[in-house]
Every structure is written in C-alpha cells, then in structure tokens.
Structure 1
C-alpha cells in the first residue's frame, strides 16, 4: 500500500479545490456530465483522446469526493449514468470561470509556451 511521504494540507481552501477538480481531465469530465453526456461509454467517446482507464479513475475520484454519484438502472444489461450531487452542481460556476479565463488568455499563453497549438482544443464544446 502506498503511503504519502508528505502529508496533504487540506485545511486550505485552494488546496482542497485543486485536489478535487484539478488535474488534466476532471473539468472536461464535469463539463461532459453537465451537457448530458452521463454514461461512461459516452464520456469515453466524447473524450476519445484520453485513455478510458484514466477517465474511469477520475470518475471514481469525483464520486469519492461527493461531486457525482453513479445511478445504476435495474436493466439487463445494466445501465449506469453519472449525475451531480448538490456539491457537484456548486462547482459548475468555478468551471465556467476557469473556461472564461482560459478563453480570454489563451493567445497570450500560446505566445509564451512552446508547443501549444492555438487551433486544437480537445475541450471544444460540440454543438448538436
């Protein structure tokens, strides 16, 4: 079993926020669920650039933190969907602010960070 060498400092609001919604893919998963992409297979299809194992790991973490819950339907074959908890809904404005900031500053970041491409955003919302 893995034992942390440095204890997590979760008495700081910023540390808690980053722990819960930080990382490369969690905000995208949250956005998928918000847009109605709730089944694991649909999330995998939407986020095809990301390994399903990674998506599943993040879904499990979001569930452990209490932002989402797994709704299992009594059907054969079983059908599973992820839905927001009340706390999960409360994080949506934070994700919106992060997206707004990113859209307002992406050109600046592209100019200052080698390897970024301004024309390829995997998070771009798909319109129906």
Structure 2
C-alpha cells in the first residue's frame, strides 16, 4: 500500500514515471496522437508510453477518444484536472532551466564509474 499521508506523497504516486510530466506537457501543446507523442519523446518505447498514458487516464489527468475507423485512431486530451497541473509542470521546468548547468554537471558527475 502506498504512503498517501501528504500532498507530496499523492503527487508522487500520480506523476511517478519518467515520461508522465512530458506526456502531460506535450498533450497540452496539442500532440494528442500516440505516434506524435512517440516522436516528441524518442527515448521512450511505445509500450512504456502506453502504460504511462493508461496510468494518467486512470488518475483522470487525461482522457482518450477512440474513433471508429480502420485502423483505429486514438487521441488523448487533458481533463480539467490534468490542465490544473500544467502551471506546476511549467514551474518545475523553469527551475530546471534556471539551474541547467549545475544539474547537468551533477548528473554527469554521478553517472561516471
């Protein structure tokens, strides 16, 4: 059972996953088709993106429309609940931009054997 005692625990459970914040950000920017999301996040496999999109859907941050065509066409959209996270994700991104040099150095320093 996850620890759900405070807001940080809750947000961690909802956003835990390497690509979730990027998925939310890119869906907000208008990249709704899985293939377009895959192109925006080339380091992620289609399977991992599908798993994380499903988790975001289960947490009601994104919704999905399946069009009855062959082959099936799927588009994702942000729910109002998901849209409420965009300013938070933007603030995290700005912090990363402000500290990019330091963060890069620290990350690379700890990656070396």
Fold shared per TM-score above 0.5: yes
- Pick the aligned partner of 1:17 from 6, 11, 15: 11
Q: In the comparison of the two structures, how many residue pairs are matched?
A: 110
Q: Secondary structure at the match of 1:81?
A: strand
Q: Which runs of 5+ in 1 are unaligned?
A: 1-6, 117-128
- Pick the aligned partner of 1:67 from 61, 71, 93: 61
Aligned-partner Cα distance in 1 for 2:39–2:33? 10
| TM-score normalised according to structure 1 size | 0.79
- Find runs of 4+ consecutive structure 1 residues off by over 6 angstroms: none
Post-superposition CA distance 1:31-52 (Å, at most 9, x none): 1101111011111122121111
Post-superposition CA distance 1:48-75 (Å, at most 9, x none): 2111111111000000000001111233
Q: More relative contact order in 1 or in 2 (CA 8 Å, sep 6+)?
A: 2
Looking at secondary structure, tell me which structure has more helix per residue.
2
Change (3 A) 1:76 1:111: closer
- Pick the aligned partner of 1:30 from 11, 24, 34: 24
